[in-house]
Amino acid sequence: MTTESELLLLARLLFQPLATCKGLASHELSASRIFFKIAIWIGLIPPTFAFIGATIFGWQIGAVEPIFLPTSVLLGISVAYYITLLFGFVTTALVSQWMSATYGASKSLGTHFAIVTIVGAPLIIGSITHLYPHAFINVLVLVPYLIWSMSLLYRGLPIALGITPEKGVLMASALIAYLLVAFVSLLGITMFLWTMGLGPELGI
C-alpha cells in the first residue's frame, strides 16, 4: 500500500472501504500522508457545496423566506466549517487510537486516520445536498448517509484493528457516544458565541 498513488489510495478508501479495512489489518499507513494528501482535500467538499448553495439559494429554515448573507460572511462561515471538519477528523482519530488500547488493538495513528476517512466518506458524498441548503431537506437526505457511515464503522473497525467483532461493536459504540457528545457541545458553543455577537447577523 505504500507504493500506491494518492488517487488510487483515495479510490480504495472511498469505494472499497471493507477491502481497505482488511488491508489496514496487515499494513500501516502514514498519518501525514492520509491527512495532507487526502483529508485536507476531501474536507473541502462540504464547505464548498455549502458556500455555493448559500450564495445561490440562501439558507432556508422551514417555510420562511431564504436568508441571504454577504459573500464575505459566507466565506468566513465556510472557512470555519472547514476548520471544524479537520479538527473533528484529527480529534476523532486520536480518540479512536486512545480507545483502541482498551480493546486490545495497537495500530498506528495513520490506521485510525484511514478508518475515520473511510467512515466519513458517505457523509462527504452526501454533502452534495448542501448545494440546496434547506435545513429539512439536508437532514432528510443525510440520514441514509449517516446510517451508511455507522454501518462502515461497525463492520470495518474490528477488521482494520484486528479485534473481535464483539470488541469492535463496543468500541464503535463508544466512538459514536463521543461523537454525539462532541456534536452537542459544538452546537452549544456555537449558540453561545452567536448570542455574544460573534455570529452573522440574520437580519441583513
Closest by CA to 104, choosing from 151, 155, 170, is 170
SS (H, E, C) 14-56: HHCHHHHHHHHCCCCCCHHHHHHHHHHHHCCHHHHHHHHHHHH
3-state secondary structure of 159: helix
CA distance 168 to 21: 13
Residue showing cell 495513528: 109
Q: How confident is the model at residue 202 (pLDDT cuts 50, 70, 90)?
A: low
pTM: 0.86
Whether residue 194 has pLDDT greater than 90? no
Whether residue 100 has pLDDT greater than 50? yes
> Could you tell me the CA-to-CA distances from 125 to 46, 66, 82, 149, 199 in Å, in that order?
9, 25, 15, 11, 27
Angle (nearest 5°) at CA 103 between 16 and 2: 40
pLDDT in tens, 7-64: 676 677 777 888 888 888 777 788 998 999 889 999 999 999 999 999 999 888 766 7
| β-pair partners for 60 | 134
* 36, 37, 40, 44: CA torsion to nearest 10: 160
Whether residue 2 has pLDDT greater than 50? no
